[in-house]
Structure 1
């Protein structure tokens, strides 16, 4: 059990980093350009860039550069990132079942 704890803690810290879950959720739908994610997520471009760099450093997200004009850059989940799909889907199911709209509304009012 001692071997698992530091790994589990690192995973929880990474996944609970603000916006990481939503970015991963978006990328589960397929390759996305930065501008698409910026338009789809309520997050600043700078913060999105920081989170993508973090996920790329962790080997969860891959940055693909296409030699076109203009240059096209897309982000996709790596195999390591795709392995998170059941975890993210389970969290989504749990949230839909156990988190009410009232809880979200009261949180937004704070």
Structure 2
């Protein structure tokens, strides 16, 4: 809208009617654009900033996935250790039988 207003030789009321907005808004946006450029047209946050950002669903799901993967890692490690323990028990039995002969 600002680009249209600046490039075409039309008044604020004509541009406002074309874009179905208030003529004062045309002036306001054009003035902000001339003062600050594109950054002036971006909306500003109002109010007091939050102390802690809210956790989004995406972050919560990601945290759950990490916890599950940690749990899966520990379960895998337990299975490996149990297999190693069984192998060592069998090896111990074999060595006892060989030593007994």
TM-score, structure 1 normalization:
0.27
Determine which structure has the larger helix proportion and give its number.
Answer: 2
Greater gyration radius: 2
Which structure ranks higher in relative contact order (CA pairs < 8 Å, sequence separation ≥ 6)? 1
